[in-house]
Structure 1
Amino acid sequence: MDPSKPQYSLRRVGRPFTKDYRAYFERNTDGIAISPFHDIPMYHNEPQNVFNMVVEVPRWTNAKFEISRSKSMNPIMQDTLDGKPRFTKSCFPYKGYIWNYGALPQTWENPHYTNPDTDDKGDNDPIDACEIGRAIAKTGDVKQVKVLGILGLLDEGETDWKLIVIDMTDPLADKLHDIGDVEKHLPGLLDATRDWFRIYMVPDGYPPNKYALKGKFMDKKYATDVVKETNEAWKKLVNGKVEKGDISLHNTTLEGTPGKLDPKEVGLPPDEKLSPAPVPPGLEEWFYIDRESLDDDKRPIQGDSLYIALELR
């Protein structure tokens, strides 16, 4: 297969921006259905530390798509909030997500393990990644990236690591080798990333997030060690050596695992390619948040000709 062509395709079922939407993965070489959680390798090139990253949310967009833990074959779906499809609010000066956001396959933040550096258990998901290259990706893209650093977010009492990565084909990839290079060549991005993760849930009524390690971005070595740790946790999960909870282990390539399915028996629905449903009104508005007063229960306000106070839960 031509290495310049995508290795994977999507089968989209249901209308985007509804709870029925599913995006299933299949391998282009043979049309076999695969799980983006379990079947796509974590490494694209292990000796050179090049990783695969599954894009869930493209930069500048708001729909909170994510790999489903519980559905068979782990399709990408839209997260829900209060029973409705979830759209992350835009907090001034940010428009939606400020990077291509997604996850590394074959990783798992173990909810049974308390990390000594964060003093919290894992969030039960693949490890998250923020891809900082200039190109805007699409949901379901599989990028080849290198790891530059990591931020330890504490999200509702769970360890939620955020990797900083860059697409290997990006023009800056040859200049970015570690977390210090990001500040040198993309000044302000790390501060904006820390700020974004702190406040992004506030317009939905949640308190600001907190950080492990005093909010410091850790370097490439530390980040790579965390990735390897989450990969080892995933290996135990997919081999049935740890409690899986609601996670579907279905896969079509991992021989000997309890979730291995016969690819011939995995019938993916046809690709419907339906038009998206209307998005909620007001999604294009900014929310203005007084960062200095967040800990004093300062209410954010929604930008419009009239300013509307939001109640925190």
Structure 2
Amino acid sequence: MISCSCMAYSTIERGSQFTADYRIYICDKNSRPISPLHDIPLFHNVSKKIFNMIVEIPRWTNAKMEISREEELNPIKQDVKNGKPRFVANCFPHHGYIWNYGALPQTWENPEHIDKNTDAKGDNDPIDVLEIGYRVAKCGEIVQVKIVGTIAVIDESETDWKLIAININDPLASVVNDIEDVEKHFPGLLKATVEWFKIYKIPDGKPANKFAFNEEAKPATFALNVVEEVHKFWRQLVNGETDNHEISLTNTTLMKDSFNISNDQANNIINKAPALGPCQPVESIVDKWHFIHQNRLF
């Protein structure tokens, strides 16, 4: 078991890193297995609007780690493409992800809902978070953040909100409260963020992503309204008010009769996963730098 910096949570690894069977399960302070999607509260502090963020991908890394929607307890796993673990391409001058990338628990972008701001449906995922503080987090870590803005990526005709947030323990957290503060204290990061999302799939043969709002970031108040909406959609999901879209609702704390399981049952799920093995080598092509000009690959 690997402890997270947030003492309330810890992680259990199964399988071998950089393979299709690698999983990271989350446990609470009592070492009880939980679902990061359902059991971790959205808010760390409601009155101060401080949120819990699940880190899926640490800054500068390429492995496309994500919360598994379909599996019981929703462990973090590496996405698979063409039968192989997926790594995101390095698009010059960026190396891997340029923020700590993750999601807010207890949120869901409803694929049946057409967003009035983007005129596109949700992507069936928890809402994404880009944490911009200086510290490189760990996969599976739960960090406390405040939200300072958002951009709206239109990814394959789906709304894919990207919340911009900062770790509350970052030295700049006290002076970064809204989107204009990001440009002031992190000059160039918003522009780089839009560029990153626009081009990162081009090496895979896909077109450049598009954005709502003419590629402009929206302020904190707007972003918080988006969070409120996707939290509402999550409540409808776990209450059975909408189709579950193959999302596992298994949890250990919500006390929903149909989906709540005991600690022993949760441990059995983890114990059925392959034992932790050695990290597997990564193909050298993962380190390749791709040069893109006017949305064309060179």
Q: How would you bin the TM-score normalised by the shorter chain?
A: over 0.9
1:285 corresponds to which of 276, 285, 288: 288
- 1:282 aligned partner, one-letter code: I
Percent of residue pairs bearing the same amino acid type:
49
Instruction: Name the CA distance, whole Å, in 2 between partners of 1:140 and 1:185.
Output: 27
Instruction: Output one character per residue of 1:120-177: Cα deviation in whole Å (capped at 9) or x when no partner.
Output: 0000000000000000011001000000000000000100000000000000000101
Which runs of 5 or more residues in structure 2 are unaligned?
none
Instruction: Output one character per residue of 1:172-200: Cα deviation in whole Å (capped at 9) or x when no partner.
Output: 00010100000011110000000000000
Residues 82-161 of structure 1 correspond to what in structure 2 (within 5 A)? 82-161=82-161
Map of 1:21 onto structure 2: 22
- 2:13 aligned partner, one-letter code: R
Map of 2:248 onto structure 1: 248
Alpha-carbon offset, residue 5 of structure 1: 4.8
Alpha-carbon offset, residue 271 of structure 1: 9.2
Secondary structure of residue in 2 paired with 1:253: coil
Instruction: Name the CA distance, whole Å, in 2 between partners of 1:196 and 1:240.
Output: 37
C-alpha contact 1:240 1:258 (8 A) present in aligned 2: no
Instruction: Name the CA distance, whole Å, in 2 between partners of 1:123 and 1:228.
Output: 17
C-alpha contact 1:62 1:87 (8 A) present in aligned 2: yes
Task: Give the alignment's TM-score, normalised by structure 2.
Answer: 0.95
Q: Quickly say closer, same or farther: Cα 1:287–1:257, change in 2 above 3 A.
A: farther
Instruction: Output one character per residue of 1:38-61: Cα deviation in whole Å (capped at 9) or x when no partner.
Output: 000000000000000000000000
Aligned CA-pair RMSD: 1.5
1:194 aligns with 2:198: no
- 2:261 aligned partner, one-letter code: L
Alpha-carbon offset, residue 257 of structure 1: 5.4
Residues 258-277 of structure 1 correspond to what in structure 2 (within 5 A)? 258-267=258-267, 268-269=270-271, 272-277=275-280
C-alpha contact 2:15 2:274 (8 A) present in aligned 1: no
Alpha-carbon offset, residue 94 of structure 1: 0.3
Map of 2:232 onto structure 1: 232
Map of 1:305 onto structure 2: none
C-alpha contact 1:11 1:271 (8 A) present in aligned 2: no
Map of 1:306 onto structure 2: none
Secondary structure of residue in 1 paired with 2:203: helix
- 1:220 aligned partner, one-letter code: A
Larger radius of gyration between Structure 1 and Structure 2:
1
Instruction: Output one character per residue of 1:262-283: Cα deviation in whole Å (capped at 9) or x when no partner.
Output: 2232222289443211112221
Which runs of 5 or more residues in structure 1 are unaligned?
302-313
Number of residue-to-residue matches in the alignment: 292
C-alpha contact 1:11 1:272 (8 A) present in aligned 2: no
Map of 2:181 onto structure 1: 181
Instruction: Name the CA distance, whole Å, in 2 between partners of 1:160 and 1:221.
Output: 18
1:12 aligns with 2:13: yes
Q: Quickly say closer, same or farther: Cα 1:254–1:169, change in 2 above 3 A.
A: same
C-alpha contact 1:128 1:163 (8 A) present in aligned 2: yes
Secondary structure of residue in 2 paired with 1:283: helix
